[in-house]
Amino acid sequence: MAVLHRALFTWFNLLIFLILLVLRLDLRIQWNWFIVFIPMWLYDNILLIYIIFRMISHCKNGHDHISSLRRKAWYMTAVLTKLSGQGLLCLKLEATQLTLPAKVVLAPLWVLLLTLGCDVFIHLIQHSRY
């Protein structure tokens, strides 16, 4: 996929999600939070398929760059962390009788943010370009 297609796909998903979020927060609709998050589920699942497809084509073409494969595995872990964070958030908002602590809900997000922060910082140091 060209970068333009990927950007427009991301943009469209985000727009639909934000519209649904605003409608739900303003109580114009009483939908389940899992339904409100459908654009995000769709986006993450397509992202997972995209990464798996790229990993398979990487292995099939016989590239022996293990670092590139490791990078794709890290991307997949990041998407899975995001998915679990969203699932916990929906559970917290929907099942109020469960009384999930906010620390548990936000833990996957912290892991994701901290690793992303470290990754960006290493990139910043290695390439010395701001």
Provide the binding-site residues for other proteins, judged by CB under 8 A: 3-4, 6-8, 10-11, 14-15, 18, 21-22, 25-26, 47, 50-51, 75, 78-79, 101-103, 106, 109-110, 113-114, 116-117, 120-121, 123-124, 127, 129-130
Compute the half-sphere exposure of residue 12: CA atoms within 13 Å on the CB side of its CA: 8
Residue 18 CB, shortest distance to other proteins, in Å, is: 6
Nearer CB in complex with other proteins: 22/59: 22
Residue 80 CB, shortest distance to other proteins, in Å, is: 11
Residue 43 CB, shortest distance to other proteins, in Å, is: 9
Ordered DSSP codes for 30-97: ---HHHHTHHHHHHHHHHHHHHHHHHHHHHHTT---HHHHHHHHHHHHHHHHHHHHHHHHHHHHH-GG
Residue 47 CB, shortest distance to other proteins, in Å, is: 6
Nearer CB in complex with other proteins: 38/107: 107
- The per-residue b/e assignment along 109-118, b for 16 or more CB within 10 angstroms, e otherwise, is beebeeeeee
Nearer CB in complex with other proteins: 34/50: 50
Nearer CB in complex with other proteins: 26/64: 26
For residue 101, the 8-state DSSP code is: -
Taking each helix axis from N to C terminus, what angle separates 102-127 and 66-94, rounded to the nearest 10 degrees? 150
